[in-house]
Amino acid sequence: MLTLQNKTIICLILFFCFFLSPLAFGQGKTEWLNDKVTLRFQEEPMSSVLGKLSQQTGIAILYDEKLAGQKVTGLYKDIKFAEAINRLFSETNKSIQVLKNEKKIIVKTFGAKNFVLALSAQSAPVSEFLDKEKSMTVADLEKMHRQQYKEYKERIANPNEILEGGMTRGELTAMHKKQNAEYKKRIANNNEVLEGGMTRGELTAMHKRQNAEYKKRITNDSEVLEGGMTRGELTAMHKKQNAEYKKRIANDNEVLEDGMTRGQLKVMHKQQNDEYKKRITNKNNIIYN
């Protein structure tokens, strides 16, 4: 286990929070990210799966210690290493640092401080990861989000992508369309007998009748409710309470529980909002340092 204090590992080449696409790594010195892997795992710890990926490819993987025991399930058949990493970490908010001159990547969950290393026998020691860090600014974050969205659209538009269940995305889409067509056909059949013994048409008619009775009931101001009040009296009370509430929140001189007046609280909230807007529009503001 490695403890990193007051440091954040940020991607030097590309940043990814939810999706990691092989297309984004480019060519040349990072071609090893396209190495093919085959792996099947069922409710297996993340540490074990990453260890197997590292052994298959020779790629060292540094990642958040908190995820080491997370149970994962999947079937990866002859897919690229980058796609395997994407699937494994698809539900985490993360950044990826690719050391393009070496077979090393760093997967960092934002806010993480403790890291573990999944590596093959040929990988270098953990200490060599530590001088590869950089801060992230607001501009960097915006660029990262644009890249993520582009990669996400490309990914979901690929009908040939093999999903965890072994189906391609195109096969899954076709299955969903077929199921939807069958569902629409079924609910349009008023002669279908349901579990209670009624047909769908009889159930629909009953619901219409109940709805009509309900509408008639809630418009009867003379109906006596459980508390002894009539519906009309309850409606009048609610109107009065609403008017008093509106009058109260419009009173800036009202002293609240913490000793501030409502007007002072509004001023403080406006100031905080202005400071927040100013902060997020500063492209050079460092998010992670």
Backbone angles phi, psi at 207, to 5 degrees: -65, -40
Which long-range CB contacts under 8 A does 173-176 form with residues at least 24 apart? none
- Number of domains the chain is built from: 1
C-alpha span between 14 and 84 (Å, rounded): 17
In a domain, 205, yes or no: no
- Whether residue 103 lies inside any domain: the answer is yes
Structural domain includes residue 190: no
Residue 34 confidence (pLDDT): 87
Residue 200, in any domain of the structure: no
**Domain-located, residue 142:** yes
Count CB atoms within 10 A of the CB of residue 8.
Answer: 19
Domain span holding position 150: 2-156
Other Cβ atoms less than 10 A from the Cβ of 47: the count is 17
Largest CA distance in the chain: 84
96 in Cβ contact with 16 (< 8 Å): yes
Q: Token digits for 138?
A: 């607001």
Query: What distances in angstroms separate CA 178 from CA 113, 165, 174, 194, 279, one per listed residue?
Result: 47, 18, 6, 22, 49
- Please tell me the predicted confidence (pLDDT) of residue 133: 46
H/E run at residue 54: helix 46-57
Q: Is residue 98 part of a domain?
A: yes
| pLDDT value, residue 22 | 37
Question: Is position 151 within any domain?
Answer: yes
How many other CB atoms are there within 10 angstroms of residue 145's CB atom? 13
Task: Write down the pTM of the prediction.
Answer: 0.47
Per-residue pLDDT in tens (0 to 9) along the chain, 289 residues: 444 333 333 333 333 333 333 333 434 467 888 899 999 999 999 999 999 999 999 888 888 888 888 899 888 888 888 888 888 888 777 777 787 777 888 887 766 677 788 865 444 444 445 444 455 566 766 776 787 788 788 888 888 887 777 788 899 999 999 999 999 999 999 999 999 999 999 999 999 999 999 999 999 999 999 989 999 999 999 999 999 999 999 999 999 988 999 999 999 999 999 988 888 888 776 554 4
Question: For residue 27, what pLDDT is reported?
Answer: 40
Q: Which of 137, 136, 122 is nearest to 54 (CA)?
A: 122
Residue 103 confidence (pLDDT): 84
Residue 251 in domain? no
